Amino acid sequence: MKRLLPLFVTVACLGLFSCKKEAINNIPVQIRVQNLSSYTIQSVTIVSATKDQPYQQQYNYGSLGSNQTSTYLEQGIVYSMPTCKFQVNGQWKEFVPRCQMGLKELTAGRYTLKITTDALGNISYPEFTKD
């Protein structure tokens, strides 16, 4: 009986850790958008990828007033600097990373994309943070 106790503890620990790893891998990528500018931005959209159609999935966050933050939306494959587009004063603006090479796929969790723009829609480099 004394010899079986260490074996039982080992098996129980292996089962516990493998369940935690599986649960962590099933958490989706969730992103919200924060408008840090003093202007309202409309039709805020993040473009991400799916396994079958790279850069075809679009997630619309609606309009965000000055210093307003959206709710989280579950997304597909998102890279460390996603393509985002929106309207400022009726003009469409789009931020597309110059090069996708070297960008890492986001791991599961919650993130905030912080956008700063002026009245003309000139975008400062969006900041992406893990919450």
Give the three-state DSSP class for 7: helix
Q: pTM here?
A: 0.72
Q: How far apart are CA 19 and CA 123, in angstroms?
A: 43
Over residues 13-52, the pLDDT tens digits come to 545 444 444 344 566 899 999 999 888 999 999 887 665 6
Looking at domain 28-130, which of 3.40.50.300, 1.20.120.420, 3.40.1190.20, 2.60.40.2890 is its CATH number? 2.60.40.2890
pLDDT over 70 percentage in the chain:
67
**Calpha distance 128→42 (Å, rounded):** 19
**Residues of the chain above pLDDT 90, percent:** 29
Rounded distance between C-alpha atoms, residue 107 and residue 124, angstroms: 24
